[in-house]
A and B are shown apart, each in its own frame.
Chain A
Amino acid sequence: MPGGNTGIIGWFNFLHKGIGFFAYAMHRISGIVIVLYLYLHFFVLSNLLRGGVTFNSLITSFTYGPYDIFIVMDILLSLVIFYHGANGIRLMLNEAGLGLKHHKLLFFVFESVAMILMLLFLYYAWQVLLSGAGV
Chain B
Amino acid sequence: MMSNMNMKSEGTINKKARSMGSIQWLFQAATGAFIIFFLGVHLYVAHINGGSPVELFDTVVGNLSNPWWLAFFLVFLWIVTYHGLNGLKGIIYETGISTRGRKGVSWAIMGVYIVSIIYGTVLSLVVAQMTIP
Q: Do chains A and B touch in the complex (CB under 8 A)?
A: yes
Which residues from chain A sit less than 8 Å from chain B, CB to CB? Answer: 5, 7-8, 28, 31-32, 34-35, 38-39, 42, 45-46, 48-49, 51-53, 55-56, 59-60, 63-64, 81, 85, 88-89, 91-92, 95-96, 121, 124-125, 128-129, 131-132, 135
How many residue pairs, one in A and one in B, have C-beta atoms under 8 Å apart? 97
Query: Which of B29, B50, B88, B123 is in CB contact (< 8 Å) with A128?
Result: B50
- The contact of A125 among B47, B54, B84, B127, by CB within 8 Å, is B47
Indicate if the CB atoms of B126 and A52 lie closer than 8 Å: no
Q: Closest A-chain residue to B49, C-beta based?
A: A128
Q: Determine how close the nearest CB of chain B comes to the CB of A58; give it in whole angstroms.
A: 9
Chain B interface residue count, CB cutoff 8 Å, equals: 39
- Do B87 and A96 have beta carbons less than 8 Å apart? no
Is the Cβ of A48 less than 8 Å from the Cβ of B130?
A: yes
Decide if B81 touches A38 in the complex (CB within 8 Å): yes
Q: Is the interface of B mostly helix, strand, loop or mixed?
A: helix
Known: A52-B132, A88-B36, A92-B32. A60 touches B53 (CB 8 A): yes
- Report the minimal beta-carbon distance from B106 to chain A, rounded to whole angstroms: 16
Contacts of A91 in B (CB 8 A): 29
Residues of A within 8 A of B126 (CB): 49
What residue of chain B has the Cβ atom nearest to residue A132's Cβ?
Answer: B52
